[in-house]
Structure 1
Amino acid sequence: PGPITIVGHTDNVKPRKSSAFKSNFDLSVARAKAVEAMMAPRFSDPSRITVDGKGEDEPIADNATPEGRARNRRVDVMIPKEETL
C-alpha cells in the first residue's frame, strides 16, 4: 500500500479578521485535516495518510465568479492507482 495524500484548497477570498484562520493556507490545511480525520479510522495503517494545504495557489476555476470560487474551495484525495479501498 502506498501513500495517500489529502490536499486542501481555497478560493482567493481572504479569511475575515474574525475567522479562526489567519490565512487561506491555514484554512486549506484545516480542510485537509478534517478529511483525514474522517478517513483515517477506515485504514489499517493511517500513517500512510499525509495532509497538505495549497491555499489559493492552485485554482481549477476562475475566482472572478461565485461558481468558480466555489469550485476552488475543495479537498483533493490522491490515492495511487494500484491502491483499492
Structure 2
Amino acid sequence: MNFTRTTFTLTLLLLILCAGLYAQSEEDQWVEEQFNQLSLDERIGQLFMIRAHSNLGPDHVAEVERQIRQYHVGGLCF
C-alpha cells in the first residue's frame, strides 16, 4: 500500500512538473505569432542595432528613420 501511494505521488509530481515545462505564456505566444508574420528581410533586420544620437538635429533623425524603414532594424543604441 505504501509503495503504491509513493509511486502514485511521484508520478503525479512528475506529470505536474513536466506540464509546466511545455506551457507557453500568452506573451510568448504573441511574440511567436509576430515573429512568424515577419518576412525574411525583416527577420534579418531584427538582428541589427543602429547608432542614434539625440543631439544631432532633424537631418540625423530623418536618416535614422530611413534606416529603420529600409533595413527593419531591431533596435537603437543611443
Normalised TM-score (structure 1):
0.25
Greater share of strand: 1
Greater share of helix: 2
Structure index of larger Rg: 2
Normalised TM-score (structure 2):
0.27
